[in-house]
Structure 1
Amino acid sequence: MIYVIGIGPGSYETMTHEAISAIENSDVIVGYKTYINLIEDLINGKEIVSNGMKQEIDRVKKAIEISKTGKIVSVISSGDAGVYGMAGLVLEMSEDEDVRVISGVTASTAAASVLGAPLMHDFCHISLSDLLTPLELIYKRVELASEGDFVICLYNPKSNGRPHYLEKAFDIMKKYKNSSTPVGIVKNATRENQEVHICTLDTINYELVDMLSIVIVGNSSTYIKDGKIITRRGYQL
């Protein structure tokens, strides 16, 4: 049996009961070492298999190998396992294993909860990481989502190796979105060291953004009220 679990932002309070129960029922926990550290209080006494970034395939191979011995294995992801997580890879690589995907709170909804209500109308997720997706395709998606007036949630917005991708994405958005469009930056959403910044397309400070941040850009009906970002749903008030 393999559980593929989204642990949410990482705190006990933001995990689902189903996720906690699956972890408690597991014999072995498999995951990226940073995520393992987030739930260390829940996994005391369990067998742990962890490694670093860019070793996802190895983790899944090991999880499948262990599950064949009859042990219950949990493969963990931060956020939701089906949103830039491990769920797809486990399902692709599994053969006759019993796989159950357990959802979690993803970064966009966690960040939205502290920003206000920016996701009240149609929105999309776009990752600015080009490790697995061609950069030209990423920018095309940014352009089409902007033209379609979507609220845009940007995952993996910036790293040392990709310092200018976010700025380029904003340049594309400015062709379709007003320069005063609200932007929310949330670092370590709902964790103890959370940081929240609200700005606009024109006033963003790119130095505030890193790989632990998510950036949410509003649409034409998004506005700021009392320090909160709200996207109108369309109700007549």
Structure 2
Amino acid sequence: MIECESKILAMQRLQDAARFDYHLYFQGEIGLEKLTALSKKFAREYDTELTKSQRSRRKLSGEAVTQFLVWKPESGDKAIFWLLTTGGKGRVMEREQFVDLRDKEHRLSLTGYELVHDGVSWSWRMEKTAYTNHQKRLRNAILAKNDLALQMAIASLYNSPGFRLVRRQVGMLSKWLRGEWKRLRKDTEPMPALPTFLAYVRRLPNPVPKKKTKKVMDVVKA
């Protein structure tokens, strides 16, 4: 099981999965008290705990390779999980029903973002609803001449996770905002300054499993 401590890490690992041909998936929620049992079941039934070399050999032989990815939101008592597979021969294909994230109707989504391939590579972008919500919030603040609300809306926009396609959308929204300001305020007053850029999301490592962490601490104590 790949247990993600943050939403950004979960998004990165899902992006990695798409890049390495784990195109079939299903997504669900489970109570934290049942998560360990589910992880053990998937490991036993679908070999989700294989090493990198074992996964590579199975993939080359045409067998389905499966991974189990989990994100625990900070609030709440449930975890969001994804069972992802490359497809091929195997028990997992016989027992589970998957959708293909390459299908526009089954894109993998998380908290207002969707994972897409734009012809260059896999990346996350805002879903249409999230994009238009930013526009509405910015426009309403301009119309109300509420500078505080506008500053908060801009901060929210630039707090978006800096994946490649999200960065592009933020740039488009910033350009749109300048145009709306000129159209609605008629250049009667200067527009608040915008941040110079949205930083890229830095690459995050997988968390060290708890058992391994304990071993490291034992060595230090010795």
Q: Per the shorter chain, which TM-score range?
A: 0.3 to 0.5
* TM-score under structure 1 length normalisation: 0.32
Q: Which has the larger radius of gyration?
A: 2
**Per residue, is there more strand in 1 or in 2?**
1
**Per residue, is there more helix in 1 or in 2?**
2
